[in-house]
């Protein structure tokens, strides 16, 4: 019986809490996170507002909860946008090899040359800031990551005996890739997805902080940090709470990824 690793348990618990808060915020929050109340601005922690209010009188806890939904939603969309074409390209390159493999990999190098932040700036210049542009920028950067991971894993699997048996049975490259290669890469891709998910949360927060991502009045951890940067001396909690949310969510996903890696490949956990 496989023992549940502390990293997997802690990562699953931490990530589960943030996912639960995000889902709950879609149905209920203590207050409307977009409602302004100048009279109630900068209230301290109390019975009515568990984490106080910001400079516009908005409830901080409600904003954190809805910000979780925003950050996780953007991150999930960006990872899916990068994973689907990235995995397809990786499988295609490994199956075809030769000049097709070279074209796919050199195309990935070109995408790698443009970081997500630079792509977001270009998209913002052309179409204006917004969560959709953040998703596109982060997702495009994820495509070569998944393509490289998929290709590397697929190249190790193609010489295996069961793949040769499938080819002898008359299966074409596409069918072999979908029925035999992809299922055996599921573990590695799952671990990579958790890593990219964590990076996407950081990227979304950074873009929102710079004003290139999620726009007001939709709450976002990055926007909360940007709004609080001039109030750190007066109300440090306004910056501490969203900062902790970003740190803990990323740590939880990293723990989850490490736990999944050790569970799926016990040799790595033993340092073999």
Averages of pLDDT over each 10 residues, the chain, 272 residues: 76 95 95 89 89 92 95 94 95 89 88 78 79 89 93 92 88 90 91 93 91 86 92 90 96 92 61 38
According to the model, what pLDDT value does residue 22 have? 95
According to the model, what pLDDT value does residue 3 have? 65
Burial of 125 by CB count in 10 Å (0-12 exposed, 13-18 middle, 19+ buried)? exposed
According to the model, what pLDDT value does residue 265 have? 64
Cβ atoms < 10 Å from Cβ of 86: 28
According to the model, what pLDDT value does residue 47 have? 87
According to the model, what pLDDT value does residue 2 have? 54
Contact 239, 232 (CB under 8 A): yes
What's the distance, Cα to Cα, between the start and end of the chain in Å? 20
According to the model, what pLDDT value does residue 266 have? 54
Phi, psi (deg, nearest 5) at residue 53: -125, 160
Q: Can you give the chain as a three-state secondary structure string? A: CCCCCHHHHHHHHHHHHHHHHHHHHHHCCCCCCCCCCHHHCCCCCCCCCCCCECCCCCEHHHHHHHHHHHHHHHHHHHHHHHHHHHHHHHHHHHHHCHHHHHHHHHHHHHHHCCCHHHHHHHHHHHHCCCHHHHHHHHHHHHHHHHHHHHHHHHHHHCCCHHHHHHHHCCCCHHHHHHHHHHHHCHHHHHHHHHHHHHHHHHHHHHHHHCCCCCCCCCCCHHHHHHHHCCCCCCCCHHHHHHHHHHHHHHHHHHHHHHHHHHHHCHHHHCCC
According to the model, what pLDDT value does residue 269 have? 43
According to the model, what pLDDT value does residue 99 have? 87
According to the model, what pLDDT value does residue 108 have? 87
pTM summary value? 0.90
Q: 134, 132, 106, 104: which is closest to 119 by C-alpha?
A: 134
List residues bridging with 53 in a β-sheet.
59
Give how far Cα 160 sits from Cα of 155, 156, 256, 267, Å.
Answer: 10, 8, 30, 20
């Amino acid at each position: 019986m496989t023992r549940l690793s502390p990293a997997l348990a802690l990562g699953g618990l931490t990530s589960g809490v943030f996912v639960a808060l995000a889902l709950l915020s879609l149905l209920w929050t203590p207050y409307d996170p977009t409602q302004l109340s100048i009279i109630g601005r900068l209230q301290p922690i109390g019975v009515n507002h568990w984490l106080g209010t910001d400079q516009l009188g908005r409830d901080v806890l409600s904003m954190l909860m809805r910000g979780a939904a925003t950050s996780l939603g953007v991150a999930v969309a960006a990872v899916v946008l990068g994973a689907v074409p990235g995995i397809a390209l990786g499988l295609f390159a490994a199956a075809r090899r030769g000049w097709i493999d070279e074209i796919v990999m050199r195309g990935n190098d070109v995408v790698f040359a443009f970081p997500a932040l630079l792509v977001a700036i270009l998209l913002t210049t052309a179409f204006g800031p917004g969560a959709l542009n953040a998703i596109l920028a982060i997702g495009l950067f994820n495509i070569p990551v998944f393509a490289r991971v998929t290709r590397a894993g697929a190249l190790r699997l193609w010489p295996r005996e069961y793949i040769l048996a499938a080819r002898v049975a008359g299966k074409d490259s596409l069918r072999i890739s979908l029925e035999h290669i992809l299922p055996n890469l599921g573990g590695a891709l799952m671990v990579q997805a958790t890593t990219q998910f964590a990076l996407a949360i950081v990227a979304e927060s950074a873009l929102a902080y710079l004003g290139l991502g999620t726009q007001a009045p939709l709450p976002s951890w990055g926007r909360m940090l940007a709004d609080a940067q001039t109030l750190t001396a007066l109300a440090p909690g306004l910056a501490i709470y969203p900062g902790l949310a970003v740190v803990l969510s990323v740590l939880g996903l990293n723990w989850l990824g490490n736990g999944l890696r050790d569970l799926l490949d016990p040799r790595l956990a033993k340092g073999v």
